[in-house]
Structure 1
Amino acid sequence: MPETTLGDLATEVRSKNAGPFWITMELFMRDADGYRIAADETFLHEGVVADLYRVDPGSVQIFRIPSLNVVKISYPRPVSQGSLRDRDVHAGQHHVPLAQLVVPAH
Protein backbone atom coordinates (compact mmCIF):
# COMPACT_ATOMS: atom_id res chain seq x y z
CA MET A 1 0.00 0.00 0.00
CA PRO A 2 1.45 3.43 -0.90
CA GLU A 3 2.28 5.84 1.90
CA THR A 4 0.06 8.86 2.52
CA THR A 5 1.68 12.29 2.34
CA LEU A 6 0.56 15.71 3.55
CA GLY A 7 -0.05 16.59 -0.09
CA ASP A 8 -2.50 13.69 -0.37
CA LEU A 9 -4.54 15.09 2.52
CA ALA A 10 -4.52 18.70 1.28
CA THR A 11 -6.48 20.54 -1.35
CA GLU A 12 -3.42 22.72 -1.85
CA VAL A 13 0.12 23.05 -0.55
CA ARG A 14 1.89 26.20 -1.65
CA SER A 15 4.87 28.38 -0.92
CA LYS A 16 5.54 32.02 -1.59
CA ASN A 17 7.69 34.94 -0.61
CA ALA A 18 6.97 36.65 2.66
CA GLY A 19 9.20 39.56 1.80
CA PRO A 20 12.76 39.29 0.45
CA PHE A 21 14.09 37.41 3.48
CA TRP A 22 11.30 34.96 4.44
CA ILE A 23 9.34 32.11 2.85
CA THR A 24 5.81 31.12 3.85
CA MET A 25 4.20 27.78 3.09
CA GLU A 26 0.54 26.93 3.55
CA LEU A 27 -1.20 23.59 3.94
CA PHE A 28 -4.89 23.86 3.05
CA MET A 29 -6.26 20.60 4.40
CA ARG A 30 -9.32 18.93 2.83
CA ASP A 31 -11.14 18.41 6.12
CA ALA A 32 -10.85 18.47 9.90
CA ASP A 33 -9.31 14.98 9.98
CA GLY A 34 -6.50 16.03 7.67
CA TYR A 35 -6.06 19.24 9.63
CA ARG A 36 -5.69 17.28 12.90
CA ILE A 37 -2.84 15.32 11.33
CA ALA A 38 -1.10 18.38 9.87
CA ALA A 39 -1.57 20.40 13.07
CA ASP A 40 -0.33 17.62 15.35
CA GLU A 41 2.70 19.08 17.13
CA THR A 42 4.22 15.63 17.63
CA PHE A 43 4.22 15.10 13.84
CA LEU A 44 4.77 18.50 12.25
CA HIS A 45 6.90 20.80 14.39
CA GLU A 46 9.75 23.27 14.04
CA GLY A 47 12.41 20.53 14.10
CA VAL A 48 10.80 18.66 11.19
CA VAL A 49 10.62 21.83 9.09
CA ALA A 50 14.20 22.71 10.04
CA ASP A 51 15.40 19.30 8.86
CA LEU A 52 13.46 19.53 5.58
CA TYR A 53 14.75 23.00 4.74
CA ARG A 54 18.11 23.05 6.51
CA VAL A 55 17.30 26.04 8.71
CA ASP A 56 17.61 26.72 12.43
CA PRO A 57 14.59 25.25 14.27
CA GLY A 58 14.46 28.40 16.39
CA SER A 59 13.76 30.46 13.28
CA VAL A 60 10.75 28.40 12.13
CA GLN A 61 7.29 29.77 12.87
CA ILE A 62 4.20 27.57 12.64
CA PHE A 63 0.67 28.96 12.75
CA ARG A 64 -2.25 26.58 13.16
CA ILE A 65 -5.64 27.93 12.08
CA PRO A 66 -8.32 25.32 12.92
CA SER A 67 -11.28 27.41 11.74
CA LEU A 68 -9.82 27.27 8.21
CA ASN A 69 -8.14 23.83 8.37
CA VAL A 70 -4.87 25.59 7.52
CA VAL A 71 -1.32 25.27 8.80
CA LYS A 72 1.02 28.09 7.84
CA ILE A 73 4.80 27.82 8.18
CA SER A 74 7.36 30.59 7.80
CA TYR A 75 11.16 30.46 7.88
CA PRO A 76 14.04 32.66 6.72
CA ARG A 77 15.10 32.30 3.10
CA PRO A 78 18.51 30.64 2.76
CA VAL A 79 19.56 33.54 0.50
CA SER A 80 17.75 36.82 -0.05
CA GLN A 81 15.22 37.03 -2.87
CA GLY A 82 16.79 37.88 -6.21
CA SER A 83 20.37 37.46 -5.03
CA LEU A 84 22.90 35.75 -7.26
CA ARG A 85 22.48 32.39 -5.48
CA ASP A 86 18.65 32.53 -5.40
CA ARG A 87 17.31 29.58 -7.43
CA ASP A 88 13.60 30.31 -6.91
CA VAL A 89 12.91 34.04 -6.92
CA HIS A 90 9.19 33.62 -6.15
CA ALA A 91 9.71 30.75 -3.66
CA GLY A 92 7.08 28.87 -5.65
CA GLN A 93 8.76 25.45 -5.41
CA HIS A 94 9.75 25.36 -1.74
CA HIS A 95 6.54 23.56 -0.74
CA VAL A 96 7.46 20.30 -2.48
CA PRO A 97 9.39 18.62 0.40
CA LEU A 98 6.57 19.55 2.80
CA ALA A 99 3.91 18.15 0.47
CA GLN A 100 5.91 14.91 0.17
CA LEU A 101 6.25 14.45 3.94
CA VAL A 102 4.90 11.02 4.80
CA VAL A 103 2.10 10.91 7.36
CA PRO A 104 2.58 8.33 10.13
CA ALA A 105 0.24 5.34 10.00
CA HIS A 106 -2.66 5.57 12.44
Structure 2
Amino acid sequence: MPETTLADLAHEVRSKNAGPFWVTMELFLRDADGYRIAADESFLNERVIAELYRVEEGTIQIFRIPSLNVVKISFPRPVSQGSLRDRDMHAGQHHVPLARMPVRQPADHDR
Protein backbone atom coordinates (compact mmCIF):
# COMPACT_ATOMS: atom_id res chain seq x y z
CA MET A 1 0.00 0.00 0.00
CA PRO A 2 1.44 3.43 -0.91
CA GLU A 3 2.52 5.77 1.84
CA THR A 4 0.01 8.47 2.85
CA THR A 5 1.40 12.00 2.58
CA LEU A 6 0.23 15.42 3.73
CA ALA A 7 -0.90 16.07 0.14
CA ASP A 8 -3.27 13.09 0.43
CA LEU A 9 -4.95 14.72 3.44
CA ALA A 10 -5.30 18.13 1.81
CA HIS A 11 -7.47 19.86 -0.76
CA GLU A 12 -4.44 21.98 -1.52
CA VAL A 13 -0.87 22.49 -0.37
CA ARG A 14 0.61 25.70 -1.72
CA SER A 15 3.43 28.14 -1.22
CA LYS A 16 3.80 31.77 -2.14
CA ASN A 17 5.73 34.90 -1.38
CA ALA A 18 4.85 36.76 1.77
CA GLY A 19 6.75 39.82 0.60
CA PRO A 20 10.24 39.76 -0.93
CA PHE A 21 11.88 38.23 2.14
CA TRP A 22 9.40 35.58 3.38
CA VAL A 23 7.76 32.38 2.10
CA THR A 24 4.36 31.18 3.30
CA MET A 25 3.05 27.66 2.85
CA GLU A 26 -0.53 26.66 3.48
CA LEU A 27 -2.10 23.26 4.07
CA PHE A 28 -5.84 23.27 3.40
CA LEU A 29 -6.90 19.97 4.97
CA ARG A 30 -9.94 18.05 3.70
CA ASP A 31 -11.48 17.48 7.12
CA ALA A 32 -10.99 17.65 10.88
CA ASP A 33 -9.22 14.27 10.93
CA GLY A 34 -6.61 15.44 8.44
CA TYR A 35 -6.25 18.71 10.33
CA ARG A 36 -5.71 16.83 13.60
CA ILE A 37 -2.80 14.94 12.01
CA ALA A 38 -1.22 17.98 10.30
CA ALA A 39 -1.68 20.31 13.27
CA ASP A 40 -0.21 17.86 15.79
CA GLU A 41 2.83 19.63 17.23
CA SER A 42 4.64 16.34 17.73
CA PHE A 43 4.35 15.70 13.97
CA LEU A 44 4.67 19.13 12.33
CA ASN A 45 6.70 21.67 14.25
CA GLU A 46 9.46 24.23 13.83
CA ARG A 47 12.21 21.62 14.12
CA VAL A 48 10.71 19.51 11.32
CA ILE A 49 10.32 22.55 9.04
CA ALA A 50 13.87 23.72 9.86
CA GLU A 51 15.27 20.35 8.79
CA LEU A 52 13.07 20.09 5.72
CA TYR A 53 13.89 23.58 4.42
CA ARG A 54 17.32 24.17 5.99
CA VAL A 55 16.24 27.33 7.80
CA GLU A 56 16.79 28.48 11.38
CA GLU A 57 14.22 26.94 13.70
CA GLY A 58 13.78 30.22 15.59
CA THR A 59 12.67 32.07 12.45
CA ILE A 60 9.76 29.76 11.62
CA GLN A 61 6.17 30.74 12.37
CA ILE A 62 3.40 28.12 12.38
CA PHE A 63 -0.25 29.12 12.58
CA ARG A 64 -2.87 26.47 13.28
CA ILE A 65 -6.41 27.49 12.36
CA PRO A 66 -8.81 24.72 13.44
CA SER A 67 -12.00 26.53 12.37
CA LEU A 68 -10.73 26.40 8.77
CA ASN A 69 -8.74 23.13 8.93
CA VAL A 70 -5.67 25.11 7.85
CA VAL A 71 -2.02 25.06 8.89
CA LYS A 72 0.06 28.01 7.70
CA ILE A 73 3.87 28.07 7.88
CA SER A 74 6.10 31.08 7.23
CA PHE A 75 9.86 31.49 7.22
CA PRO A 76 12.46 33.83 5.70
CA ARG A 77 13.39 33.18 2.08
CA PRO A 78 16.95 31.86 1.66
CA VAL A 79 17.60 34.73 -0.79
CA SER A 80 15.46 37.78 -1.44
CA GLN A 81 12.89 37.61 -4.23
CA GLY A 82 14.28 38.46 -7.64
CA SER A 83 17.91 38.41 -6.54
CA LEU A 84 20.53 36.84 -8.79
CA ARG A 85 20.47 33.53 -6.84
CA ASP A 86 16.67 33.32 -6.58
CA ARG A 87 15.62 30.04 -8.23
CA ASP A 88 11.87 30.38 -7.53
CA MET A 89 10.86 34.02 -7.79
CA HIS A 90 7.25 33.44 -6.75
CA ALA A 91 8.05 30.75 -4.15
CA GLY A 92 5.58 28.56 -6.01
CA GLN A 93 7.56 25.31 -5.61
CA HIS A 94 8.50 25.50 -1.93
CA HIS A 95 5.45 23.46 -0.91
CA VAL A 96 6.62 20.24 -2.59
CA PRO A 97 8.76 18.82 0.29
CA LEU A 98 5.95 19.61 2.74
CA ALA A 99 3.31 17.98 0.54
CA ARG A 100 5.44 14.83 0.22
CA MET A 101 5.87 14.38 3.99
CA PRO A 102 4.65 10.92 4.99
CA VAL A 103 2.07 10.73 7.78
CA ARG A 104 1.72 7.99 10.34
CA GLN A 105 -1.48 6.05 9.98
CA PRO A 106 -3.21 5.63 13.34
CA ALA A 107 -3.44 2.05 14.51
CA ASP A 108 -6.92 0.65 15.00
CA HIS A 109 -6.59 1.07 18.76
CA ASP A 110 -5.73 4.80 18.28
CA ARG A 111 -9.02 5.55 16.54
Per the TM alignment, residue 55 of structure 1 is displaced from its structure 2 partner at its CA by: 0.2
4+ residue runs over 6 A deviation = none
Specify the alignment match of 1:62 in structure 2.
62
1:45-56 alignment, distance < 5 Å: 45-56=45-56
Specify the alignment match of 2:90 in structure 1.
90
Amino acid at match of 1:68: L
Taking only aligned residues, the RMSD between alpha carbons, in angstroms, comes to 0.4
Specify every segment of 5 or more residues in structure 2 that has no aligned partner in the other structure, as ranges. 107-111
Q: When the two structures are superposed, what TM-score results if normalisation uses the length of structure 1?
A: 0.99
Question: Which one has the largest radius of gyration?
Answer: 2
Does 2:7 match 1:10? Answer: no
The residue matched to 1:15 in structure 2 has which SS? strand
Per the TM alignment, residue 39 of structure 1 is displaced from its structure 2 partner at its CA by: 0.2
How many residues are aligned here? 106
Give CA deviations for 1:29-65 in whole Å, capped at 9, x if unaligned: 0000000000000000000000110000111100000
Q: When the two structures are superposed, what TM-score results if normalisation uses the length of structure 2?
A: 0.94
Does 2:27 match 1:27? Answer: yes
The residue matched to 2:44 in structure 1 has which SS? coil
Specify every segment of 5 or more residues in structure 1 that has no aligned partner in the other structure, as ranges. none
Amino acid at match of 2:71: V
2: CA distance between counterparts of 1:9 and 1:2? 14
